[in-house]
Structure 1
Amino acid sequence: MDTFPVLETKRLVLRKVTKEDANSILNYLSDEEVMKYYGLEPFKSIDDALDEIAWYQSIQVNSTGIRWGITLKEQEIVIGSCGFHNITSQHFRAEIGFELTREHWGKGIAAEAVEAIISYGYQHMNFQRIEALIEPLNLSSQKLVEKLGFLREGLLRNYEFTCGKFDDLYMYSLLKQDFDKIKTSQA
């Protein structure tokens, strides 16, 4: 990807995250509630936020992912992020990830952003399958992906070791043809 794809929805602009966004990122990734299922300890310093931004840039450079900053239209402040990681192009699949600052929970913003990137992934990145790996206690993320048409395929036991413990993760997936069917039925 030469130029970063900016995506617009009804209420949002999804754009590249830059070093200038470090304070915003630190603001929400230092919140224990936001970080509860993130797989990292809450951020403590601006360096943590800059490391996260560097990771966003490295996955794009290495073609293993892309991460968008979520902003409300007419506002420059990043209030969350969403994107793809662990892209496996030979198998036409990727994992999806997302988080949002707590004051914007429950407003449909994350679902709006995730739906936009899923659509982009199928149309422009040639994905056939998009996966979401979600901890069993993370009910709000499960509801979000289920609302978008993802199916729970099973439980991956002790799948990740994060924050000093092994985590089980539900494997969800959404196939291109299922997403297309949902979009057609909504039209």
Structure 2
Amino acid sequence: MKIQLRRFVKEDIPNKVRWINDENNNQYLHYDLPLNIPQTEIWYENNKYRADRYDAVIECDDVPVGLIGLLSISGGRAEYYITLGEQEFKGKGIAKEATYLLLHYAFSEIGLQEVYLYTEIDNTSAQRLFERCGFIKMGLERDSVVNRGKSVDRYYYVVSSDDKSKG
């Protein structure tokens, strides 16, 4: 399998809407659901030239299978996100390889020193991925966000540019 990342483009909007609206994908995502194409087109136009974020599509053998990126790029840091949208591609190491590619981009190409993320405490499959990719669990934030009307606890993870365990 050839895994690669490419910048998100307008033509990716239908896939993003489908992936985010899929109940198999969105349990731990913090979106106003359901997404629709017109609102996502507005999001795209408002964000496509921003220097403080990097939105990419994960491709497996040239097939778009998910979303990955960096938010709040500032001061040598950025927040990581990922959603593998296509069910048949889950559990094959694609998210891990995509994460390594994104961390390489973050540290080697744009010179970040740290990438961080938050994940709900119940999202154990994501936590396994993050830990395999070198992220270190730094703490627990209680009632730190509201998801579907319910206050939830989240773990805070960090990986730094000098961490030798990343890809």
TM-score (norm 1): 0.80
Q: Does 2:24 align with 1:33? A: yes
* Cα distance, 1:51–1:143 mapped onto 2, change above 3 Å: farther
Q: 1:21-57 CA distances to partner (integer Å, 9 max, x unpaired)?
A: 2222222111012011111144353224424534552
Q: Work out which structure has the larger RCO, using CA pairs closer than 8 Å and 6 or more positions apart in sequence.
A: 2
Residue aligning to 2:165:
182
* Displacement of 1:87: 1.6
Residue of structure 2 equivalent to 1:82: 68
| Match for residue 137 of structure 1 among 117, 122, 125 | 122
Q: Distance in 1 between the 2:109 and 2:35 partners? A: 36
Superposed CA offset, 1:120-149 (max 9, x none): 111112111111111101111100010011
In 2, Cα distance between the equivalents of 1:148 and 1:96?
12
Gaps (5+ residues) in structure 2? none
Q: TM-score, normalised by structure 2?
A: 0.88
Q: How many residues align?
A: 166
Residues 55 and 169 (structure 1), Cα distance of their counterparts in 2 relative to 1, 3 Å cut: farther
Asked whether the 8 Å contact 2:4–2:101 carries over to 1, the reply is no
CA contact 1:35–1:41 (8 Å) conserved in 2: no
Match of 1:112 in 2: 97
Q: Deviations over 1:43-76 (max 9, x none)?
A: 353224424534552xxx332210111122233x
CA 1:100–1:53: 2 relative to 1, 3 Å: farther
Q: Which piece of structure 1 moves more, 12-21 or 143-152?
A: 12-21
| CA 1:79–1:176: 2 relative to 1, 3 Å | same
CA distance in 1, matches of 2:26, 2:17: 11
Distance 1:56 1:147 in 2: 30
CA pair 118-55 structure 1, distance change in 2 beyond 3 A: farther
Residue 21 of structure 1, aligned match among 12, 18, 21:
12
The one-letter code of the counterpart of 1:175 is S
- Is 1:62 the counterpart of 2:50? The answer is yes
Q: In 1, Cα distance between the equivalents of 2:42 and 2:129?
A: 28
Q: Residue 94 of structure 1 corresponds to which residue in structure 2?
A: 78
The SS at the match of 2:162 is helix
Larger fraction in helix: 1
Judged with a 3 Å threshold, the aligned counterparts in structure 2 of structure 1 residues 155 and 54 are, in CA distance, closer, same or farther, namely: farther
- Cα RMSD of the aligned pairs, angstroms, is 2.0
Please list every run of 5 or more consecutive structure 1 residues that lacks an aligned counterpart in the other structure.
Answer: 1-9
Equivalent residues of 2:72, 2:79 under 8 A apart: yes
* Moved segments of 4+, more than 6 Å: none
